[in-house]
Structure 1
Amino acid sequence: MNLTQPTGSHVTPPDARESGPLRRLLRALYAHPRRALVGLFLFVAVAGAFGGPVAGALETEGGFAPPDADSVRAVERIEAATGLEPSPGVVLLVETPPGTGDDAVDAAAGTLAGVEGIARADAAGTALDGSSALVIGTLEASANEEETAQAAVDAFAEDDGVEVGGGAVASLQLGQQIEQDLGRAELLAFPVLVLLSLLVFGGRAAVLPLVVGITTVLGTFLALTGINELYGISVFALNLIIGLGLGLAIDYTLFLLTRYREELDRQGATFGAVVTTMRTAGRTVVFSAATVAVALATLVVFPMGFLRSMGVSGAVVAVVAAAAALVVSPIVFGLWGAKLARRRRNDAAEGRWYRISHAVMRRPGAIAAVTAAIMLVLAAPALRSEWTPVDGTIVPPGQSARVVTDAIDSDYDSTGTTPVTVAIAAGDGADGDVAGFASEASSLPGVTAPAEAVELGDGTWQVDLEVDGDPAGADARSVVAEVRELAEDSGTDALVGGPAADFIDQQDAIADSLPLAVGLLVLLTMLVLWLMTGSVVLPVKAVVMNALTVGVSLGAITWIYQDGRFADLLGYTPNGGVEPANFLIAAALVFALSTDYGVFLLGRIKEAREEGQPEREAVAVGLGRTGSVVTAAALLLAVAIGAFSTSEISFIQQIGIATAIGVLVDAFVVRSLLVPALMGLLGKWNWWAPMWLRRVHDRVGVSESA
């Protein structure tokens, strides 16, 4: 086998490459840019009109436990028997100054009971110092939680002596907080992005990422409007849509513009320059979008609605961003042409990256070893990460739901609710068996008080077990496991619900789905990279380097959030761990974007190699042509996504910070040092593939050469 011969180096005849509907569409966009802009404006207007309202229609509750989990089925069983939710959805914290007696509590309970969707309101305990009391509102099972929570908040809006909290109110206020955070993030990031775009793109070209970004975000909203009708999307996906949409829009347009400027120098402001740009950089954008989409789409393997929402939204954003860039860029090229040329050549920057690459490849083994070792050290904190459930501390301080949660934790012995709920299905005459099960469950370690079985009707019984500590803490989780084991041993049809059961079911679902998700992520990423390069070595190497980058980003959020660092600066409440869904989303997102930048660099290296450059020279030329562009794109994307570190919701912060760190490490460390070191070390073996696989690639792969 001649390893010096480039794989996939076949060249499609020009007529075949340039004929067909895609070329006709490209010519139409280029030749009639003003008409195309009118069509684009109409699309954006329609997308804004029909897709813009989707933000208010997204799911604001749940999504962190599998829909078929025992904990979810326990709730459904109780709701079916009673027509009521099993745990209070609204909790009032009522001030009880000396001399007021029960009047304030009775008045608050009466007002809450009159709220539509509230089935009943009951007093539920007094603070240790007597300064306040709790009133709990149970929702009808058929009630709209968001509307009921909003009605409860409105009912006490003028009453300074009552704070409104509870699970339904927390979900409502989280949704409202996300909208506020989005507005603040855009306000902070947008001026910075505009300034950086002016510096990086130069002059009127800075309009290009702005137009593509708006088209991407609104186009994604339009697509999700239809998807949301079939499958409920979580409101938390909004942050990902806007941050990733703007970031990818900047990346794709920057690479297209950079290549077009190169072709302007070679071919002038001709249609041929546009064709070459779209055939090379445009094709690479397609590969990039494919890698990002498949990486994020692997999140749909997990059964939790929150993760599936992020996976679907991320995949749609990647596809829409690529489509928008590939449509808008030819329009702008046709409209302004030579006016987009570089004011000054970027030879200095290209030369700098070219020299860095050759310097690295002079000692590739040492530099690869040192770089990998440092990245492993930075990734080490991720190995000691502790997963913690979503709890009341996720609600920002100052929100009424958080005020109620904090007051209950500090001022009350018990909330009046139970962290572990057991729903038992039993036939007629099973009173004794159910009572015996309740007695055995009450004697389990961690249960603090005897529990009775309450008949709900339709052969359903409910047992509420009081457990000390956090509702989803270690004691409660231990009780859940023991109750489930007791039910299995006794043959009792018992389903266990509550926060601890939700968290256990979430962890079990992640553990069951993780091998398949990781396998698909690696397999699909390697498939796309093989189609692009024809090599089996480069995809494997890319996966390994991406894993290192992911480890560094996850290590950073473990070091910050689990260890409680910068809590005052970032405005979060440490809870001793990291929410597991954040871990998975951050990992998938960083992996996707690392592959994204790798695709651009490999595309230019492969092109230089197909032009006949020696191995190391091709690497240096590829890095010289992309180094400054990749670093600029990484900075812009880090600003776009990192802006969400300003969110007052801690797990949105975590995703933003992890992604920003991962993108910057990948651009400044991996692409600058590790990639040229490893490619220099392996030489022609970078492009190795079995002969039969090379023949397959010659038929189905593509060439990146112009």
Structure 2
Amino acid sequence: MQSSPPPSPVLPEPTASPAHRTALARLGGLIARRPGLWVIGWVVVAITCFAIAVGGVTGESLFERLHSGAPTVESESSRARDVIEQSEPTLETLTLQVSGADLQDPAVVKAGADATVTVGKIPGVKGVKSPLLNPSGLTDPSVAPLLAGGSPTAGGFVTVVNFEPGLDKAAQDTAEAQAEKALLGVADAMKAKGSLGSTSKVIHAITSTVERDLLRGEGIALPLTFIVMLFVFGGFIAAGMPIVGAVIAIGGALLSLFAFSHVVELDATVVNIVTLLGLGLSIDYGLLTVSRFREELAHRQHPVPTKEEVAAAAERTVATAGRTVLFSGLTVAIALSGLLIFQASIMRAIGVAGVSVVLVAMVVAITLIPALAVLGAKRLARKAVEPVSDTGMFSRLAVAVQRRPIAVILGILVVLVTLALPTLSMRLTSSGTELLPKDAQQRVFFEDLARDYPTLSAPEVTVVAGSGDTAAVTAWAGQFKDDTGVESVTVRPLGTSHQVVDIRVAGPPTSDAAQDLVTRVRETKAPFETLTTGQAAAQIDFLQSMSDRAPYAVALVVLGTFVLLFLMTGSVVIPIKALLLNVVSLGAALGVVVWIFQEGHLEGLLNFSSVGAVESMVPFLVLAFGFGLSMDYEVFLLSRITEFHRAGLDNDRAVSLGLQRSGRIITSAALLIVIVFAGFIAGDILIIKQMGLALVAAVVIDATLVRMLLVPATMTLLGRWNWWAPGPMRRFHDRFGITE
């Protein structure tokens, strides 16, 4: 047990002399001279960003360019789809589902058939498949798959419209609109209920829900964060500065996403994930910058700060808080850059967009926020009448932890490991319409379609066999009929040189039975080439690709983070400790996600329906984003501890004083970012809910158990070893380390 030493005097923090002013200090002075120009410039940038990304001044908005679908990679399953596509190109379709029709009344059937004929005459329609058009009538076995329950007695049927390939967007939209009207006319003619569904409608439902969720999330986050910052700063001006910066950063985020949508297909969920990250970081950085500016104003000599004192405060703020923001932003960017290593285009898109958004938030924090602070310096000075106290709640917490560091470490580790245990049973899936709320029209449509017309849905497992011999392929495929969950095995020709084996498996498309079957098929030798695809196969290939690239991504993130923290602290122990603590806290956050979303707890409270698994992208995104946010708070704390340690304070006093000076900022920033990510949880898209809850859990765990308790305890236990580095590395840091 180590007792805390008596408080040591804190050295004054004078402004650096001109000869020793850093580049950041000079930037602060430049901003202080022309703050209005910096603000006007950023306002122009923000208006331009929103006009292009959301206003559609270029002819289309970001939300019109979004896509949706399961994450894919170049793999066996994608090659199989390419072979199928060459012989059977995918056509845009529109499906009508009719219920409550009297299909045993010839007059009703004739009225429906006459209305259906008109659908086929619409320009752009390639063909119409409907049991009503069968010349042999509804009792013909060939139309049974198009009838609910396989019989006309149930009163339900489907009609599928195929559109001509290669239509431009205007022609496609016109054809679909006319077909929708005509198909609903079929149901009306039969005095029955009709509903429409298509892949494009599902994508539109997801993208429009994402757009609504984004507006709802920001509508929740911005007012609540403003209210919280009113309590933190005690004034409207100071509270509004980080909000202004956040709004401008959102504009930059949306513009960067709009630009990336022209390079890669951008999934709809990317917008919420990346934009709210930018919002959270901007508020965090704005809070840190404004707090430090007001702290620097407390060193002034005059009741009303002079121009010189304001400039000095701006220089010192950008030199210190700006340095922390740069380190924090770079660590978050490094964490997100790990996503660039993966093969899946959606992961790379999130990585590139995320890095760009972090850079926007960083630049806003070290230019716009100081400019706003300079303009509002007189108002800010009213709450900066005396230097920040060196004693308070957080220093007392640090001293309490320092009395029993081993007990604190063991207790917190037990809690974190307990929270992480559910990750051992994590199951992953790639949902389709299940991403939408349970009562969403398109989700209901496709669930009804799968229940009443099972043969119309894609088979769970599809094998492309490189043989023109149907009999040989049929004989080979017959061995899978008795596998667990297999309901049917059918073989059909694909061109002249291939066969397609469709295997239907009971349960969801990515069920354990479907995945086990994919593995068995791929391991079974055949006298011809076989390629296996389907949703289960695509998920297996995606996860295998992620697993193959994960070591390289981890190595990049670990090495980059280690180097940055070493350059900041001059220690090799502190970076290693930070990396290990982050792994434990992120494991706990993922355990919470599994417990809630996979095991189905809190469904009513969080308004979701469990699919018995976690979305396959969530663990990787949580590790990237959660790691970045954890390091964000680590940098906030370590920058102050390092600052005091370099001022000559002993280890324990530097830790307690660093926690006292940064604890309020970390706690406030964590609360604010929790509010921001609560917008994720309030959303309707399942993967966004999972991401939101995971990041909220990660932030809460990190900002409380880890930063406030575990870090002070471990640093106390290590003592002077915190600052150890081998001689060559120490000399390298003395020469090249990034200090003020």
TM-score (norm 2): 0.86
Q: Does 1:380 align with 2:384?
A: no
Shift of 1:151: 6.2
Deviations 1:211-244 (CA, angstroms, capped at 9, x unpaired): 2111111112223333332233222111123311
Question: 1:631/1:25 Cα in 2 relative to 1: closer, same or farther (>3 Å)?
Answer: closer
Q: Do 2:423 and 2:594's aligned partners in 1 also have CA atoms closer than 8 Å? A: yes
Shift of 1:590: 1.3
Aligned counterpart for 2:347 among listed residues 286, 290, 307: 307
Q: 2:10: which partner in 1?
A: none
Deviations 1:114-160 (CA, angstroms, capped at 9, x unpaired): 48476654554222371422334556665689996896477436667
1:64 partner letter: P
In the aligned structure 2, how far is the partner of 1:117 from the partner of 1:244? 43
Deviations 1:302-335 (CA, angstroms, capped at 9, x unpaired): 2223322222222111111010111112211321
Question: 1:619/1:118 Cα in 2 relative to 1: closer, same or farther (>3 Å)?
Answer: farther
Q: Does 1:471 align with 2:479?
A: no
Q: 1:592: which partner in 2?
A: 628
Shift of 1:549: 1.5
Aligned counterpart for 1:180 among listed residues 196, 212, 221: 212
Aligned counterpart for 1:368 among listed residues 387, 409, 414: 409
Shift of 1:643: 1.4
Q: 1:506: which partner in 2?
A: 542
1:126 partner letter: L
Aligned counterpart for 2:89 among listed residues 62, 83, 86: 83
Q: Does 1:132 align with 2:168?
A: no
Q: 1:56: which partner in 2?
A: 63
Q: Does 1:223 align with 2:244?
A: no
| More moved, 159-168 vs 611-620 | 159-168
Q: 2:327: which partner in 1?
A: 287
In the aligned structure 1, how far is the partner of 2:76 from the partner of 2:100? 40
Q: 1:209: which partner in 2?
A: 242
Aligned counterpart for 1:111 among listed residues 95, 99, 119: 119
2:147 partner letter: T
Q: Does 1:481 align with 2:505?
A: no
| More moved, 50-59 vs 353-362 | 50-59
SS of match in other structure, 1:466? strand
In the aligned structure 1, how far is the partner of 2:232 from the partner of 2:683? 27
In the aligned structure 1, how far is the partner of 2:168 from the partner of 2:717? 61
Q: 2:370: which partner in 1?
A: 330
In the aligned structure 2, how far is the partner of 1:283 from the partner of 1:303? 34
Q: Do 1:364 and 1:677's aligned partners in 2 also have CA atoms closer than 8 Å? A: yes
| More moved, 185-194 vs 560-569 | 185-194
User: What are structure 1's unaligned runs of at least 5 residues?
Assistant: 1-10
CA RMSD of aligned residues (A): 2.9
In the aligned structure 2, how far is the partner of 1:666 from the partner of 1:212? 25
Q: Does 1:247 align with 2:280?
A: yes
Aligned counterpart for 1:97 among listed residues 89, 93, 101: 101
Question: 1:417/1:547 Cα in 2 relative to 1: closer, same or farther (>3 Å)?
Answer: closer
Aligned counterpart for 1:45 among listed residues 38, 44, 47: 47
| More moved, 140-149 vs 74-83 | 140-149
In the aligned structure 2, how far is the partner of 1:147 from the partner of 1:485? 46
In the aligned structure 2, how far is the partner of 1:147 from the partner of 1:251? 47
In the aligned structure 2, how far is the partner of 1:75 from the partner of 1:169? 22
Question: 1:464/1:135 Cα in 2 relative to 1: closer, same or farther (>3 Å)?
Answer: farther
Aligned ranges 1:410-425 → 2 under 5 Å: 410-412=451-453, 414-415=455-456, 417-425=458-466
| More moved, 108-117 vs 531-540 | 108-117
User: What are structure 2's unaligned runs of at least 5 residues?
Assistant: 1-13, 132-144, 188-192
2:89 partner letter: G
Question: 1:206/1:108 Cα in 2 relative to 1: closer, same or farther (>3 Å)?
Answer: farther
Q: 1:5: which partner in 2?
A: none
In the aligned structure 2, how far is the partner of 1:143 from the partner of 1:550? 47
Question: 1:519/1:370 Cα in 2 relative to 1: closer, same or farther (>3 Å)?
Answer: same
Deviations 1:279-298 (CA, angstroms, capped at 9, x unpaired): 11101100000011111121
In the aligned structure 1, how far is the partner of 2:387 from the partner of 2:699? 23
SS of match in other structure, 2:505? coil
SS of match in other structure, 1:37? helix
Q: Do 1:441 and 1:483's aligned partners in 2 also have CA atoms closer than 8 Å? A: no
In the aligned structure 2, how far is the partner of 1:125 from the partner of 1:418? 16
Q: 1:3: which partner in 2?
A: none
Question: 1:413/1:321 Cα in 2 relative to 1: closer, same or farther (>3 Å)?
Answer: closer
Q: 1:169: which partner in 2?
A: 201
Shift of 1:681: 0.5
Shift of 1:342: 5.4
Q: Do 2:292 and 2:321's aligned partners in 1 also have CA atoms closer than 8 Å? A: yes
User: Which of the pair has more CA radius of gyration?
Assistant: 2
Q: Do 2:436 and 2:685's aligned partners in 1 also have CA atoms closer than 8 Å? A: yes
In the aligned structure 2, how far is the partner of 1:183 from the partner of 1:293? 25
Deviations 1:606-656 (CA, angstroms, capped at 9, x unpaired): 000111111100000000001111101110111011211011111100101
Question: 1:226/1:548 Cα in 2 relative to 1: closer, same or farther (>3 Å)?
Answer: same
| More moved, 611-620 vs 502-511 | 502-511
2:440 partner letter: Q
In the aligned structure 2, how far is the partner of 1:683 from the partner of 1:632? 28
In the aligned structure 2, how far is the partner of 1:78 from the partner of 1:40? 51
Matched residues, number: 682
SS of match in other structure, 2:507? coil
| More moved, 587-596 vs 563-572 | 563-572
Question: 1:360/1:79 Cα in 2 relative to 1: closer, same or farther (>3 Å)?
Answer: same
Shift of 1:175: 1.0
Q: 1:686: which partner in 2?
A: 722
Q: Percent identity at matched positions?
A: 32
Q: Do 1:91 and 1:404's aligned partners in 2 also have CA atoms closer than 8 Å? A: no
Q: 1:451: which partner in 2?
A: 490
Shift of 1:23: 5.6
| More moved, 603-612 vs 102-111 | 102-111
Question: 1:437/1:621 Cα in 2 relative to 1: closer, same or farther (>3 Å)?
Answer: same
Aligned ranges 1:519-538 → 2 under 5 Å: 519-538=555-574
Q: 1:190: which partner in 2?
A: 222
1:134 partner letter: V
| More moved, 104-113 vs 688-697 | 104-113
SS of match in other structure, 1:236? helix
Q: 1:8: which partner in 2?
A: none
SS of match in other structure, 2:158? strand
Question: 1:361/1:407 Cα in 2 relative to 1: closer, same or farther (>3 Å)?
Answer: same
1:111 partner letter: V
Deviations 1:93-118 (CA, angstroms, capped at 9, x unpaired): 22242234475478468638848476
Deviations 1:523-558 (CA, angstroms, capped at 9, x unpaired): 222121111111111111111111122112111111
In the aligned structure 1, how far is the partner of 2:541 from the partner of 2:113? 37
SS of match in other structure, 1:452? strand
Q: 1:672: which partner in 2?
A: 708
Question: 1:59/1:305 Cα in 2 relative to 1: closer, same or farther (>3 Å)?
Answer: farther
Q: 1:392: which partner in 2?
A: 433
